Chain A
Amino acid sequence: MDLKEKLISSFLAFENQMDVDTYVHDIRTEAIKTFEDKGFPTKKDEDWKYTSLNRVLKENYTLFPKKENTLEYREIKKYFIHDIDSYKIVFIDGEYSSYFSETTHDGMDICLTSAALAKPKYRLIIENYFNKIATKDSLTSLNTAFSNEGAYIHIPKNKLVEKPIQILHFSTGNEAASMLQPRNLIIVDENSHVQIIERHQSLTDNPVLTNSVTEIFANKRAIVDYYKVQNDNQNASLIDNTFINQRRESICSVHTFSFGGKLTRNNLKFYQNGERINSILKGITIIGNKQHVDHSTLVKHIEPNCESHQDYKGIFEDNSVGVFNGKVIVEKEAQKTNAFQASNNILLNDRATINAKPQLEIFADDVKCSHGCTIGQLDENALFYLRTRGIPKKEAKALLMYAFTNNVLESVKIPELKQRIHKIIATKLGVNIGFEL
């Protein structure tokens, strides 16, 4: 039985064990039909031209892994940003771990999707927000059909959430291969501000496939800073589908740091429903071996006087493959739009690949839009400069790569996170330079 059949045939059993709420039930049933019709995307789909899922779909995944109870904090401590006070929503093999988590219902809800979907008091919110901006493509529909667990965050208006929220998904690998489908719903009301860090981490070498969906609603003048840390091991793959709906004068930023994993596909979609909105999409990708990272972004400018800024840096070594597929749509009403997009890439050898495809669809006439893709090597002259100062070749290369990614790192607003990313980069580049990289 292939994975698609397996998913479809396990759907009924999954749905039957859930608390039946007609509204959610109907959405799930509709979604499995969509998935059944469309199936997994293939390279024939325009959006998947450069990324094939074949090598990750062939595993015999367990769809509902058994929960591992023996995990200890010392085993997973390093995956947290542990030197800051934060809220934590932790999942182990797809199930919530109250032991490692630190949630709240005090003046705001930082808790679980399963609770929000099941409890009547969340009913109105669910009907207003759940599955409202997630698209009907096959992978998102697949997640919707099995949507049950994940982070549910609702920040009411005029609230500055002082502690960042960390969402961590661990897989213990106690099954030979497991598939996870977390579903996050984040609602930030008027004038509120929140910072969120999300990470998926496999703890063994057994294959893991995560098909995650996150819906984020930034209401009027809300500020949302979202950070995705992707540094998983060689057998873990991630399809991250993130949808962001912005209301007037809101500011949302998503930073994606892709340093690991077997195959990572980021579908990041912004919808600007209001005036004077700012959307910021930034990423650093540093990969090697046979790793594959795909950033597929969409920014839809719908109303006037909005901005979007995309800045992605990629460094590719060995036989790694990078994809940048960035789409900007400026609708007819969206006059005075400022939309910028840059994808800069360094290939460290001639076996590494980057496929960069900017797409601009502009229907308004008074706009400023730009895109720039560059693909190059490390500057030999710059390397020589550093080496004449006594800095060995390896360290000199690392310094140049660090400098190349620096403007993206600079915009990280949580200092401890920034420091952590510095460390991951230094480890990744195999150097120990006398100061914090």
Chain B
Amino acid sequence: MLKIVNLHASAEGKTILNGINLEIKAGEVHAIMGPNGSGKSTLAAVIAGKEEYTVEKGKITFEGQDIDELSAEERAHKGIFLSFQYPVEIPGVSVTNFMKTAINETRKAKGLKDMPASEMLKLIREKSELLEIDRKFLSRSLNQGFSGGEKKRNEIFQMALLEPKLAILDETDSGLDIDAIRIVSNGVNKLKNENNAIVIITHYQRLLDYIVPDFVHVMHNGKIVKSGTKELALKLEEKGYDWIKKEVYG
């Protein structure tokens, strides 16, 4: 589904990604871990099409198509979704209206007509139950005055409505209490199927107890320095990153 080959990317002349190779297939869950500043969030933003980053070298293909020239919205229309670490507040635009706009813009890009209001309502109701979101929440301004947990839950709610092929969850677990982690990961697990893929970016093993990854990658200095299975995450939790640095750099 997603194939990244020797990806180098920079921002304001500074190289941040330094030769990333990664392949993600439909039905897989990948976790990307690594210390602060290793380039995890940059990788997520580059995949999603943030304009501030320049791809210097290498290639990202999504379903066989080179996506380098595509704008963020075009990537979204193709089925790439990024859950933000810090979702943006939009006063005056309700969660419902925002999602209607997002869904209909995506449909428009695919040459489809707006979703009929009744169908939209049904979809929103169904997905809000999945994330244990109550109706009052839907008429509030997007992310405005939301708690950390509410913001993250709302991100996954958006994912549920947009049904992406590839969902990248950037530190979705940070700032969440144990109940919120349970609700969020429960939602993600229910959305997971053999046709989509999920990338989890996290510092901690905690979330991986709930969403079990097929592969775990460790990033350092803009590179994936080690890949393994879920046991790798457990080892990191126990031993930290130093042993990997030693193993890689000698």
Residues of A whose CB lies within 8 Å of any CB of B are 379-382, 384-393, 395-396, 399-400, 402-403, 406-407, 409-410, 433-435
Q: Contact at A385–B93, with CB atoms within 8 Å?
A: no
Q: Are B162 and A389 in contact (CB under 8 A)?
A: yes
Interface of A, helix, strand, loop or mixed by DSSP:
helix
- Nearest-neighbour CB distance to chain A for B159, whole angstroms, equals 10
User: B92 contacts which of A386, A389, A403 (Cβ < 8 Å)?
Assistant: A403
Contacts of A388 in B (CB 8 A): 48-49, 72-73, 75-76, 80-82, 84
3 smallest CB-CB distances across A and B, nearest first, come from A406-B92, A387-B72, A390-B76
- Across-interface contacts of B76 in A (CB, < 8 A): 387-390
CB-CB < 8 A to B109: which residues of A?
390
**Complex Cα gap A381–B93 (Å):** 17
Beyond A381-B88, A407-B91, whether A392 also contacts B105 by CB under 8 A is yes
Kindly list chain A residues whose C-beta atoms are within 8 Å of the C-beta of B58: none
Determine the distance from Cα of A435 to Cα of B93 in the docked complex, in whole angstroms: 9
Counting chain A CB atoms within 10 Å of each CB, the highest count among B52, B89, B101 belongs to: B101
A122 to B81, CA, bound (A): 69
CA distance A381 to B72 in the complex (A): 12
Looking at the assembled complex, report how far the CB atom of A437 sits from the nearest CB atom of chain B, in whole angstroms: 9
A392 and B101 alpha carbons, distance in the complex (Å): 10
Cα–Cα distance between A386 and B84 once the two chains are bound (Å): 11
How many residue pairs at the A-B interface have CB separations less than 8 Å?
83
A390 to B161, CA, bound (A): 12
Given contacts A382-B88, A385-B87, A406-B91, are A434 and B101 in contact (CB under 8 A)?
yes
Question: Would A395 and B72 be within 8 Å (CB), given that A379-B88, A380-B52, A406-B91 are in contact?
Answer: no
Q: Are B92 and A384 in contact (CB under 8 A)?
A: no
Contacts of B98 in A (CB 8 A): 389
For the complex, what is the distance from the CA of A433 to the CA of B90, rounded to whole Å?
Answer: 15
- Partner of A433 from the list B71, B82, B101 (CB cut-off 8 Å) is B101
Chain B neighbourhood of A389, CB < 8 A: 76, 98, 102, 158, 162
CB distance from A10 to the nearest CB of B (A): 49
Question: Which residue from chain B places its CB closest to the CB of A391 in the assembled complex?
Answer: B105
B21 interfacial contact with A, CB 8 Å: no
Determine whether the beta carbon of A434 is less than 8 Å from that of B104: yes
